[in-house]
């Protein structure tokens, strides 16, 4: 039986979207990425929990988590009393390997930026676009493709403040709102009342400090950003679209590399 080569569409050209494009391309399929043709900017501490298959070698390291206080206090500090799920230090108790997401994304961009169509598809037109492709993936935030009334579908999330390092700015550890420093390739989770931040991370030389969304602004570093972290959704719009990544699936606990298995599985089922 002859192998079937698929026409694959992907929404979004961030690390998850281009990772999906890589998986589909190495499987021999035709791939189109729909997105504003602009490379995503990565801030602060980010890394991959698994290597990308059939890919050039990138930097790796061993990352360690440390908990101050207990898991329950940390969960309440970050998510409030209504969230009953596990937290990072429970899920990643032991030191674990990490791969450099910035270096990986640079390579992905060089490999696949030419298959990006500089176009954002409107949710209302997705029905027609779905008919043009055999498999459709979305890595963009799930609310962006929701077409149902807002009272029907909910998108649960947690607002946090984050201050992330870039090449031209570093965390001022002598600032009284921090007064703590950690080694590279380590993550510190704070479950006690003071200091006010709840997590400090540094991996591959880039750091992040995060505060709960209810934090008084005077406890924040200048230039922090509000970040909307997905928790869950009951949205089932477009069942024909495979949603990938934490923002695509709008679900806590989804890591960037999970898209690799999800894309392989979807392509195998359709091919």
Q: Are residues 164 and 258 in the same domain?
A: no
pTM for this predicted structure: 0.92
How many other CB atoms are found less than 10 A from the CB of residue 167? 8
Answer yes or no: is 73 within a domain: yes
Answer yes or no: is 2 within a domain: yes
Radius of gyration of the chain (CA): 20
Answer yes or no: is 53 within a domain: no
What is the count of structural domains for the chain? 2
- Checking 211-216 for CB contacts under 8 A at 24+ apart, the result is 211/160, 211/161, 211/162, 212/77, 212/78, 212/160, 212/161, 213/158, 213/159, 213/160, 213/161, 215/161
Buried b (16+ CB within 10 A) or exposed e, 132-146: ebbbbbbbbbbbebb
φ, ψ of residue 267 to 5 degrees: the values are -65, -40
Q: Are residues 251 and 131 in the same domain?
A: yes
CA distances from 180 to 11, 115, 175, 192 (A): 40, 44, 9, 14
Instruction: Give the pLDDT of the chain (271 residues) as one tens digit per residue.
Output: 456 789 999 999 999 999 999 999 999 999 999 999 999 999 999 999 999 999 999 999 999 999 999 888 888 888 877 777 777 777 776 899 999 999 999 999 999 999 999 998 888 888 888 899 999 999 999 999 998 766 678 899 999 999 999 999 999 999 999 999 999 999 999 999 888 999 999 999 999 999 999 999 999 999 999 999 999 999 988 999 999 999 999 998 899 999 999 999 999 988 7
Distance CA 105, CA 214 (A): 33
- Across the chain, the runs of DSSP E, i.e. the strands, are 7-11, 30-35, 60-68, 96-99, 116-118, 135-138, 155-164, 186-190, 199-203, 206-212, 225-233, 241-243
For residue 48, the 8-state DSSP code is B
Distance CA 33, CA 240 (A): 17
168 in helix, strand or coil? coil
CATH assignment at residue 30: 3.40.50.720
Q: Are residues 221 and 267 in the same domain?
A: no
Answer yes or no: is 226 within a domain: yes
Q: Are residues 65 and 196 in the same domain?
A: yes
Q: Are residues 171 and 209 in the same domain?
A: yes
Q: Are residues 159 and 35 in the same domain?
A: no
Whose tokens are 């505060």? That residue is 211
Q: Are residues 217 and 244 in the same domain?
A: no
Q: What is the pLDDT of residue 150?
A: 60
Sequence-distant (6+) residues with CB within 8 A of 261 are none
Answer yes or no: is 110 within a domain: yes
77 in helix, strand or coil? helix
Assigned token pair, 10: 């992907």
Q: Are residues 172 and 224 in the same domain?
A: yes
Phi-psi region of 85 (alpha: psi -120 to 50; beta: other; left: phi over 0): beta
Sequence-distant (6+) residues with CB within 8 A of 86 are 71, 253
Q: What is the pLDDT of residue 39?
A: 96
Q: What is the pLDDT of residue 127?
A: 87
Q: What is the pLDDT of residue 1?
A: 46
Q: Determine contact, residues 47/98, Cβ cutoff 8 Å.
A: yes
Q: What is the pLDDT of residue 25?
A: 97
- Host domain of residue 184: 60-99+155-231
């Amino acid at each position: 039986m002859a192998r079937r080569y698929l026409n694959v569409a992907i929404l979004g050209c961030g690390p998850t979207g281009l990772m999906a494009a890589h998986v589909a391309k190495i499987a021999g399929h035709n791939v189109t990425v729909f997105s504003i043709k602009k490379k995503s900017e990565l801030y602060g501490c980010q890394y991959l929990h698994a290597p990308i298959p059939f890919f050039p070698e990138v930097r790796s390291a061993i990352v360690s988590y440390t908990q101050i206080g207990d898991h329950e206090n940390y969960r309440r500090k970050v998510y409030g009393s209504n969230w009953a799920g596990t937290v990072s230090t429970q899920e990643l108790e032991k030191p674990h390997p990490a791969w450099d997401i910035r270096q990986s994304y640079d390579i992905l961009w060089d490999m696949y930026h030419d298959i990006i169509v500089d176009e954002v598809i409107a949710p209302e037109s997705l029905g027609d676009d779905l008919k043009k492709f055999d498999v459709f993936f979305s890595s963009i935030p799930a609310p962006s493709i929701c077409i149902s009334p807002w009272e029907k579908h909910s998108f649960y999330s947690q607002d946090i403040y984050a201050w992330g390092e870039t090449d031209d700015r570093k965390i001022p550890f002598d600032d009284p709102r921090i007064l703590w420093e950690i080694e590279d390739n380590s993550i510190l989770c704070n479950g006690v009342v003071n200091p006010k931040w709840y997590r400090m991370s540094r991996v591959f030389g880039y750091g992040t400090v995060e505060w709960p969304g209810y934090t008084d602004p005077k406890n924040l570093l200048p230039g922090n950003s509000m970040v909307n972290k997905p928790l869950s959704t009951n949205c089932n719009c477009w069942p024909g679209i495979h949603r990938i990544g934490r923002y695509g699936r709008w679900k806590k606990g989804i890591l960037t590399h999970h898209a690799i298995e999800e894309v392989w599985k979807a392509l195998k089922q359709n091919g």
